[in-house]
Chain A
Amino acid sequence: MRRPREREILLAHGSGGRAMHQLVEGLIVPQLDNPLLARLGDQAIFELGGARVAFTTDSYVVSPLFFPGGDIGALAVHGTINDLAMGGARPVALSLALILEEGFPMADLERVLASVRAAADVTGVHIVTGDTKVVGRHGADKLFINTSGVGLVADGAHIDERRVQPGDAILLSGTIGDHGMAIMSQREGFTFQAPIASDTASLWPLVEVMLAAAPGAVHAMRDPTRGGLATTLNEIAARAGLGMRLQERAVPVREAVRGACEILGIDPLYVANEGKLVAFVEAGAAQAVLAAVRGHPLGREAAIVGQAVEDPRHYVIAETDFGGTRIVDMLAGDPLPRIC
C-alpha cells in the first residue's frame, strides 16, 4: 500500500477506517517489516518453548472515561483479552501502563483501578507488570492506558483469516453498535428512554464454548471494534481474498441504538463494539456453533448474518429488504473519535 499522502497526522488516521489502514500498511509496517507483523492480526502468534503463544497490545484514550456500561479500566482489560481470544488464545497475563495528566483526581484513578481488577478477575488473568507516567496539564487528556497481554493458543484452534472459505457462515455474537452509541450519547448529552450501555465484556468465555463445540470449524474470528462490523468484514474479505454477502435484516441491533443512529445519521454497521465477535464458521458446523454461542449469556442474541463468497473484487455486499443490493464499504472518515 502507498504511503499516506497527507503531511500531518489527521484525526481520520486513528479512525479504524481506510485512512488508518494507509498509515499502518503504507508507513508503519514497511518500516518495521517482519513476517509476524505483516500478518496484521489482532495478535501475533508464534512458538515459544514448544507452546503456541499469542501476544498483543492496545492503547485506550476513550473520552469520557466513565460511561454507561463501563469505563476506561474495564475497556483496557477487555480489549486486550479479546485481541488474544480472537486468536483462539486463553489470556494468561496482562501489563498495565498509565499515562496520567497532572491534576487528575485520585478518586477517579482508584475507581478505574478497581474496574481493571474486576475485569481481570472475571477472566482469571492477572496484571503482572505495569508502568506509571505523569505529564503536565494539557500534556495528555486526563488518563490514557496501554495494556499488553500474552495468552496460550488453545489445542486444536487454528484461527487465521486466510483459512476463510467460500460458503463459510458469518456468525455474529449479538447486537451491534452498543458501545459506540453509549459513548456518543454520553458525550453529546443525549438521553433516551432506554439508556444505551456499552457492551464491553471479555469474549474469552464465549470463544472457549465455540472452540469446544466444533474444534477446527471456526476459521477466523474478530471483534468488530473501531470502524464497526462493516470495516471488520472488509478487512477479512481483503485478507481472505473473498467477498461477503450480508443479509441486512439478520444483523441484530438494539432498538435504542437504532433510534440513536437514526437521529445522528450514522449506520450501526460502522459503530464500534467492545463485547461482540464475528466468526467465520464452516457451513456444516455453523448451526452447532450457533447453538453453543446462544447457550452462553454473552451470545443469546447471536445470529448467522451472511456468508463468505467468491468475489475477485473482495466486496462486502448487503442484500436489502427491498430486493436491492448495496456495497458495504470500509469506514472512510471518522465522525466519532476517541471511542476506545
Chain B
Amino acid sequence: MKYMDEFRDGRLARKLLREIAGLATGRVRIMEICGGHTHVIFKYGLDKVMPPAIELIHGPGCPVCVTPLERVDQAIELARLDNVMLATFADMIRVPGSRSSLQQEAARGADIRMVYSSLDALQLARAHPEREVVFFAIGFETTAPTNAMAVLLAQQQGLRNFSVFSNHVTVPPAVRAILDAPDVQLDAFIAPGHVSLVTGSDVYGFMAREYGKQVAVSGFEPLDILQSVAMILRQRRAGRAAVENQYTRAVSAAGNRKAQAVIERVMLPCDFRWRGLGIIPGSGLRLRPEFADFDAERRFALGEPPELADPKACECGQILRGAKSPWDCRVFGKGCTPENPIGSCMVSSEGACAAYYNYGRHQQRATS
C-alpha cells in the first residue's frame, strides 16, 4: 500500500535495529505513553527484536483503560433512563462497570449505539428528536476537538436533545504525575503521535527541562517506533535531553491551533480521577458553564460519583503507571481475558494487557 508499506519495510527495520543494538550500551527504560504505540509494538513483535537492554514500559495512553469504574457506572445509569439513547465507541460498550457493562445493558433493552465519531452521535440526535442522545465521550487531546466541535454544531443547529458526558483527559499532567511517582523509574519517553498533532511537540518540553528525560514524538508505523528509539539513544549517547520530533510528516512544534481553539472555546480543565493514577489536578476536560445545556453531567444532575476501587485481583492501576507488567497480574489470561475482561486494560486493543494477551502470550515469562 502506498505511503504505508514504506514504513513497514523489513530491510530498513533490520538496519535500524543494528544501529539500536550498537547504541544500547546500558539498560534503558523507555515508556511509550500511547496505547496505539503499545499495540504496534506487539503487533509487529518489536519487543522481541529489540536488544534486551532496551526495556519498553507501557504508559497510560489508552483512554478506555484510564476511565475509572464509577464513570462507566454513570454511563450505565444514563443508558438506563427511559428516554436516553447513549452513543459511544465500541470498546466502551464492552468495558465492565462495577456490576454491569453497556453491552449487558443493551441486551436488557437499553438503547445503546456504537458510533465512530461524536458527529455520528449528532446525526442520531437529529434523526431521533424524541430521544435524549447522550454521547459518552472519552479520549485525549486527539478526540477532544471533534467532540467540542459536536457541541458547537449542536448549539448552532439548535439541537435540544444532544449532550456530552465528558471524560476527556490530557497527556501532560498525567506524564508529570508518573514522573513524580516514587515507584516508577523511567529514562526516556516515546511521546504520542496523534495527541501531538493537536497539542504540538512543545508541550513535552518540561519533561526534558525539568526532569532531564529524552523524548521522541513518534508515528505509528513500526519503523517510526524503531527510529524514535534510535533518536532517544543518540541523545543519551551525546549526553543531552531534548524533545525531538520523529513524526514530522504530521506533527509540528505548535500543533493544530484551530483544534486547540475549539477545545479552549468549549472545554475547561478540571481535576480528574484516572484509573491507576488517582486524582490528577487539571488533567480532565469538562464543558464550560455556558454550554451547560449540552453537558450530560449537569443536564441529568449526575453529581460527583463515589470513588470505586478496582476489582481486588486486578492490577490495571499498577500496569497503567508502568509499575507492573501484565505478566505480574495473577488474573492475566486466566480470570481476565478479552472476552471476559476484569480490568479495562484487557478491553481496548490499546490496553497493555490486551496487547500482551492477543499478540504475545506464547512468550509469557514466569510471573515473579
Contacts and interface: CB of A to CB of B under 8 A. Distances in A.
Contacts of B357: 329
A1 interface: no
A12 B339 contact: yes
Contacts of A258: 1, 4
B144 to A, nearest CB: 19
Contacts of B10: 321-323
Given A321-B8, A323-B14, A5 B360 contact: no
A315 B9 CA distance: 26
Nearest to B350: A265
Contact of B359 (A8, A17, A327): A327
Interface string A244-278: 00000000000100110010110000000000000
Given A17-B339, A259-B1, A335 B45 contact: no
B74 interface: no
B338 interface: yes
A318 to B, nearest CB: 9
Contacts of B42: 326
Given A10-B103, A17-B339, A323 B90 contact: no
Contact of A255 (B1, B90, B104, B358): B1
Contacts of A320: 43-45
A324 interface: yes
A189 B340 CA distance: 32
Contact of A317 (B13, B14, B222, B362): B362
Interface in B38-92: 42-49, 90
A106 interface: no
A322 B104 CA distance: 40
B117 to A, nearest CB: 11
A329 B359 CA distance: 8
Contacts of A12: 94, 103, 339
Chain B interface, >50% SS class: helix
Find the residue from B4, B10, B44, B361 having the highest chain A CB count within 10 A.
Answer: B44
Interface string A4-33: 011111111000011100100000000000
Contacts of A323: 10, 14, 45, 49
A6 B104 contact: yes
B197 to A, nearest CB: 16
Nearest to A21: B339
B: contact size bracket: 35 or more
B108 interface: yes
B116 A11 contact: no
B48 A324 contact: yes
A313 B48 CA distance: 20
B262 interface: no
B185 interface: no
Nearest to B89: A335
A8 B107 contact: yes
B108 A322 contact: no
Chain A interface, >50% SS class: loop
Contacts of A215: none
A19 B47 CA distance: 30
B146 interface: no
Nearest to B109: A8
Interface residues of A, number: 34
Interface in B311-360: 337-340, 349, 357-360
Find the residue from A12, A255, A322, A329 having the highest chain B CB count within 10 A.
Answer: A322
A250 to B, nearest CB: 13
B43 A326 contact: yes
A129 interface: no
Contacts of B46: 322, 324
Contact of A324 (B49, B114, B338): B49
B28 interface: no
A320 B226 CA distance: 15
B106 interface: yes
A322 B13 contact: yes
Given A11-B106, A259-B1, A320-B45, A325 B362 contact: yes
B361 A18 contact: no
A41 interface: no
Contacts of A332: 337-339
B45 A322 contact: yes
A162 to B, nearest CB: 23
Interface string B14-53: 1000000000000000000000000000111111110000
A315 B363 CA distance: 11
Contact of B45 (A188, A255, A324): A324
A216 interface: no
24 contacts: A5-B340, A7-B104, A10-B107, A188-B116, A258-B1, A262-B1, A320-B43, A320-B44, A320-B45, A321-B8, A321-B13, A322-B10, A322-B44, A323-B10, A323-B14, A324-B48, A326-B43, A326-B44, A327-B359, A327-B361, A329-B357, A329-B358, A332-B337, A335-B114
Interface of B: 1, 4, 8-10, 13-14, 42-49, 90, 94, 103-104, 106-108, 114, 116, 222, 337-340, 349, 357-363
Nearest 3 interchain pairs by C-beta:
A324-B45, A332-B338, A8-B107
Given A12-B339, A259-B1, 8 more contacts: A255-B1, A258-B4, A320-B43, A321-B44, A324-B46, A327-B358, A329-B358, A335-B114
